[in-house]
Structure 1
Amino acid sequence: MKSISLLLLTTSLLFPIVSSANQTPVWKPKSGDFKQKYDWLKTSSGEWLKGDLITLYDEDIEFDSDEFGIQTIDIDDVAELYTKGKQSIRLNDGTVLTGKLVIQDKLLTLINGQEKQQIAVNNLLSIASANGNERDYWDGEINFGTNFRRGNSEQSDYTLSGEAQRRTATTRLSGEFVSNFSERVSQDTGKKEQTTNDQRLSTSFDWFFSPKTFIRVADYEYFADELGNIDNRHTLGFGVGYEMLDTGNFVWEISAGPSYQSTRYITVEAGEDDKETSGVLNLGTAVQWDITKDIEFDADYQVKIVSEEAGEYIHRLKAGFEVDLIGDFDLDLTFYLDRIENPKPTDTSTPDKNDYRFVVSLGYEF
């Protein structure tokens, strides 16, 4: 009996030592001297990502993981963050600071040499690279969609689009390009004829002087639509914007401003001028909703109020879902609507007011 008691006592004393020896230590990257090759991010679920911190904007961190591609993570889901290089941060009061970053326990430590400054994470408005590498300021996406129809009808549809943004702690440069082309084979003549041929290029530059308000320093759009009788249309202006709502997963902003528009038509009625110019009042609203981790909904609506001769009201709606697939690839389901209230008649007909399409495309983020 004494032998059994002695065995039990010995086992109870040795078990914690053995357990401690066999227990896998909690891993974390070195953070003391910041000589790591990557930025490191730990989510609240305990998962680590290595790669490059792209930006923080609207409480969402964009992180380019070496293994999983570009990931969007809510700042509230970040347990720890260690950057390999300097970042530029902007606080809610407008203050801009620069240094290497460490985030732990909802507290950000900004490191410049031997100097350290601690800031509550909820005071952060934005983060952007400050390493002087221009590539770190940019992110974007390229999409391609196509559809072929054969049998009783023969038609081919192509859509190529791309968008890019350059972000710093206080500015945002945005650009977008969309091109649509469709052709079909006429059953009467057997020849190919175009049914869609349009291109749109838009760009804007915003300066944020408060957490919710920005000045649109420049806003430009080029548009051409062969089937809509528009050889080219240029619109240049400026404006202001305001963030109406931001819940982390849902962002809604509005914008307004004056512009100047010049339109040249392909053909016009006899005696009519083929060029129109007009002042413009441009009104817009945009919504971004992160429905789940992998599904995002975006909507952007713009209306230009112009002279009656230039179209009276020119509407533009882009809305759709973006579904993350694998790595940097995603599936885009997008609905486009263009409407001109008073389209310019050609020498033979008047174009339809509405032009709409639904596009399924494959996207690549960079």
Structure 2
Amino acid sequence: MSNKTKRHLLSHVTIGLILPLSSTVQAQSVVSEPHGSAQHAPAQLFPPADSSYDWVQLSSFEMLKGEIKNLYDDRLEFKSDELDTIFIDWEDVLVLQSHDVISVGFTDLTTKTGLLRLQRDKLYIDDQVFDRSQVMTLISGEQTESNYWSSKISLGANFRSGNAEQVDYSAIANAHRRTTESRFNLDYFGNYSKSEGVNNINNHRLNSYFDWYLSKQFYLRPIFAEIYLDPIKNIQYKATLGFGLGYDILDTPKSDWSISGGPAYTFTKFDNVATDASDNDGSGALVVESAFDTELSEDIDFNALYRVQHGNDKSGGYTHHALAGFSIELTDMFDLDLSLVWDHTNKPQADSGGVTPEKNDYQFIIGFGIDI
């Protein structure tokens, strides 16, 4: 299941390879004709007006019935009881018809809501006509909170007893809110390990941002924030708050690549320090982030994140958080997640005993993901 699709709304639909009985013969001739060879009346392409389904016709003239869920990053999410949820490249959609209201976001950042009909290069919303190239997003139904949110949780654990007592767990969670004009993202990443009563891993990272799109690719990030806890690295907590800008470098049906960043303020509370040293530090910082994900196959996605923060030496100097992972779809709801994480602190601070933590931490995580 595509991560890119999951950064957007998830739900279930109904598709079938069913044609209107009143025009079966006509529709069969449509399917056999090459793309663009003829113009057809709506009666030949659409089911009856009182249909309880949404309909999509592909550039190959195949027609599917089901339910429109959303359109993000030029990929249409369509759902069926028989075929389950499928994702269609927007360029492959020839005709689209909804039986209920759809919220449409346009490149000028306006939103229209109503019954939708797309035929080739023209989009009709009730009695209004738009050019297809102006469409940026679609969301099924009215603009309500339940249509905006999606989330995923990936958990991994290891418990041992007997000759060795050991407990390990990891968790990666994401909540994503996407409207036709904006997006909000909340990520959690945590690891804990205890062996023979000794706690040797205990770190937690909570990261969030809000983006407001100024165009199809350029967005304002009025706020981003991160809280990081790692007492083993002598960080009781480290809080970062900032603002910036972002740009979608690559935005195709299969791949996304974006870069963002801006100035921030970071405050660090150390876990323990020497008696004559300050136990906290605050300073300005610069944060830059790049995120990439792509669909390698129908069932396998690859994603990568690289976040750099540069502050003063006491706050760690140059630090980065890098993650690369594969998500392998097992079912519509469950995934196998494989992640490699590299955290680096260029100037780790010594504790009260004069022990300086290692600069690098590496983790390989196997998790079981659940889409909500």
TM range (shorter): 0.7 to 0.9
- How is 1:218-257 mapped onto 2 (pairs within 5 angstroms)? 218-257=223-262
Structure 2 gap ranges (5+): 1-23, 29-43
Instruction: Measure how far apart 1:314 and its partner are.
Output: 1.4
Give yes or no for contact 1:176–1:201 (8 Å, CA) kept in 2: yes
Q: Which residue of 1 aligns with 2:34?
A: none
| Corresponding position: 1:268 with 2:273 | yes
Give yes or no for contact 1:288–1:296 (8 Å, CA) kept in 2: yes
**After superposition, what is the alpha-carbon deviation per residue over 1:214-239, rounded to whole angstroms, capped at 9, x for unaligned?**
00011011111122221111111110
Give yes or no for contact 1:99–1:110 (8 Å, CA) kept in 2: no
Instruction: Measure how far apart 1:164 and its partner are.
Output: 1.4
TM-score, structure 1 normalization: 0.81
Q: Which residue of 1 aligns with 2:200?
A: 195
**Structure 2 residue matching 1:227: 3-state secondary structure:** helix
Q: Which residue of 2 aligns with 1:102?
A: 117
**Amino acid of the structure 1 residue aligned with 2:291:** A
| Corresponding position: 1:207 with 2:219 | no
**How far apart in 2 are the matches of 1:146 and 1:65?**
34
| Corresponding position: 1:358 with 2:364 | yes
Give yes or no for contact 1:68–1:328 (8 Å, CA) kept in 2: no
Q: Which residue of 2 aligns with 1:111?
A: 125
| Corresponding position: 1:181 with 2:192 | yes
TM-score, structure 2 normalization: 0.80
- How is 1:309-320 mapped onto 2 (pairs within 5 angstroms)? 309-320=314-325
**Change in 2 beyond 3 A, CA 1:68/1:304:** farther
| Corresponding position: 1:60 with 2:68 | no
Range with greater deviation from structure 2 (303-312 or 44-53): 44-53
Q: Which residue of 2 aligns with 1:14?
A: none
Give yes or no for contact 2:109–2:180 (8 Å, CA) kept in 1: no
Instruction: Measure how far apart 1:111 and its partner are.
Output: 2.5
**Structure 2 residue matching 1:86: 3-state secondary structure:** strand
Tell me the number of residue pairs that the alignment of Structure 1 and Structure 2 aligns.
333
Give yes or no for contact 1:70–1:365 (8 Å, CA) kept in 2: no
Range with greater deviation from structure 2 (302-311 or 330-339): 330-339
**Change in 2 beyond 3 A, CA 1:361/1:51:** farther
Calculate percent identity across the aligned residue pairs: 34
**Amino acid of the structure 2 residue aligned with 1:303:** V
**How far apart in 1 are the matches of 2:96 and 2:57?**
6
**How far apart in 2 are the matches of 1:87 and 1:151?**
58
Which of 69, 78, 92 is 2:107 aligned to? 92
Structure 1 gap ranges (5+): 1-21, 186-191
Give yes or no for contact 2:68–2:140 (8 Å, CA) kept in 1: no
Name which one, 1 or 2, has greater alpha-carbon Rg. Answer: 1
**Amino acid of the structure 1 residue aligned with 2:365:** V
**Change in 2 beyond 3 A, CA 1:247/1:102:** same
Q: Which residue of 1 aligns with 2:21?
A: none
